Structure formats: C-alpha cells, structure tokens
Amino acid sequence: MSSKNTTPSPTVVRVLIAILCLIWGSTWLVIKGGLRDLPPFTSAGVRFAIAAVIMIGVASLLGRHEGGEKPPLWLWIVQGTTSFAMSYGIVYHTETILPSGLVSLLFGVYPMLQALAGHFFLDAERLHSYQWFGFGIGLLGLILLFGTDLHGIGPDGIPTGLLLMLSPISVVVGTTLVKRFGGGVNSTLLNRNGMFVGAALLLGAAFAFERDAVVTWTPAAIASVLYLAIIGTVVTFSLFFWLLRSTPAHKMALIAYVAPAIALFLGWAFAGEPVTVWTLSGAGCVLSGVLLVVHRRHPVRP
C-alpha cells in the first residue's frame, strides 16, 4: 500500500497542538481524582486496555487513509514499554503522593530532554548556545521545586520527585526512536499495538503489586478511566504521533510547555492544591527554560 501525502498545514498543526495542550493539561487532575478509588497500576492498566480495544476500530477506519508502512515489532514494543507502561506507571504512582499540578510541572522538563536527545540523535535538530542557556534556567527551576515544594511534602517528597524524573526520560527514549526510525510507519497501528503492550505490562504490575489493594469502581472512578482512555489516550496519542511523523520533535514538545501551566491552574482551582511563591518561581524557571530550549531562531526542515 502506498503512503499518501497527509502532511498538515501550519495552521492545522497549531490548532491540533492547542487541543492537545488543553486535553493533556486536564488529565493530571483527572488521574488524581481516579486514584481516590483505584490503585495506580490498576487504573492505568484499565485505561490503556480500553484505549487499545478502541484503537482496533480506529486503526480499521483511519489506518488506510493515513497510509504508511506497518510498524516493525521492535518499534511498537519499545513504544508501549517506554511511552505507555513505564511513563504512565511512574506518573500514576507518584500522583498518589504528590499534587497533580506539581507532577505535571516536574514532567515539564520533557521538552528539554527531548531537545537534548534530538541534538545528538536526530538530523537537523541541533541546539544553539541560547538553548543550552535554557537548560541552565530549567535546572534552576528544578532545584527550587525540589528544595521547597517537594521538601515540604515530607520524607517521601524528594525521592518521589526523583522517581518521577524517570517518566520523561522514558518518553524521550520512545519518541526519539519513533522519530528516527518510524517516520514512514502508520502511526495508528503503532499506537494500537503500543497500547496493548502498555496495558499488558501495567496490568501485570497491578497483579504483582496490587492484589491486596482496595479497588472501588465508583461512578467517579469509571468516569475518570473512560475520559482518560478515550479523550486522554485514543484522541491525544492518535493526533500526537500522526503529527510527529511530519513535525519536528522540538515543536511537538511545546505541548509539555503549555500543559503544565494548565494543570497547575486546574489543580489549584478545583482540588485546592497549594501554589506558593516558590511553586510559581520554580514553574517560571522551568517553563522559561523550556521556551528557550524549544525556540528556533532559524527553522530547519524536518
């Protein structure tokens, strides 16, 4: 099957990225709400199991229209392990201890890590001197957050924050490999297969570590899982990896610059999560650093 030209226009790219920012900005608070009734691996595993089943139909409807090659086995196993199982397993676990907005903010270092990976492993994504300066500002923001907000949570705050750092690192590994080796593959099939892998690994972790945990399928828990599965997974990842095929990875990483600000506001406004002057200072440094890192004065062709 020949691949069709489905490269989106710049306007379409901007609109879709804005939609992704809004959705992913809301998911952190929704995850936190679902964890009141469900243990983390169970909640994440069911989310991706539902999403994977829905993706069977999505792949049937949209896969042929998108075109592209069938993803190789190794790529969708890596995708499912890094971008779904590892990343979300860590996020769900850390949200049992940390506020949702703070988790999102700490995960917001992802664009800087992605840009660093792009510098070394992706063609035409070399970093400039001002972008390296952005890394320093972002690092200062992390130091502020670890020394204030995380330290103030208690003895589990800093270790949990350090564990959370493994989540964006795992996404960087998966995204870089998809960008480098999967530019011509069908993103719908890649996501479908990867979600099945992620669901299997997360449910396996739930069986191993949460067999004695209390699982209460309240209406709020069900609504949380369904929203995260359908809107926060099927819709978002289908859009994200479709765009990733033709959009530079550093531009896609802008989503992680805007979404943390949305998540921080939603956590404060709807869940009463604390936002101190140190939170805002750390957030300002992290997001300013991200902005410098992902900004390109001289755009290059992907």
- Going from the C-alpha of 111 to that of each of 91, 114, 169, the distances in angstroms are 17, 5, 10
pLDDT attached to residue 61: 78
Query: Which residues, in sequence order, are bridge partners of residue 69?
Result: 185
Residue pair 31/271 in contact (Cβ under 8 Å)? The answer is no
Of 38, 26, 174, 34, the closest CA to residue 104 belongs to: 26
Instruction: Give the residue extent of every domain in the chain.
Output: 10-294
Sorted by sequence, the CB contacts under 8 Å of residue 73 that are 6+ apart come out as none
Mean pLDDT, rounded, for 103-122: 86
Q: Would the pLDDT of 271 be above 90?
A: yes
Residue pair 267/111 in contact (Cβ under 8 Å)? The answer is no
Higher per-residue confidence, 8 vs 83: 83
- The torsion angles phi and psi of 279, rounded to 5 degrees, stand at -60, -45
Q: Binning pLDDT at 50, 70 and 90, where does residue 268 land?
A: very high
Q: How far is CA 135 from the centre of its chain?
A: 20
Enter the pTM of the model. Answer: 0.88
Q: Would the pLDDT of 6 be above 70?
A: no
Q: Would the pLDDT of 94 be above 90?
A: yes
Of 258, 291, 245, 230, the closest CA to residue 55 belongs to: 230
d(CA 202, CA 49): 9
- Percentage of the chain exceeding pLDDT 70: 91
Mean pLDDT, rounded, for 257-277: 93
Where helices occur in 67-186 by DSSP H, the ranges are 73-79, 87-94, 100-107, 110-121, 129-145, 151-153, 157-164, 166-181
Higher per-residue confidence, 300 vs 171: 171
Q: Would the pLDDT of 69 be above 90?
A: no
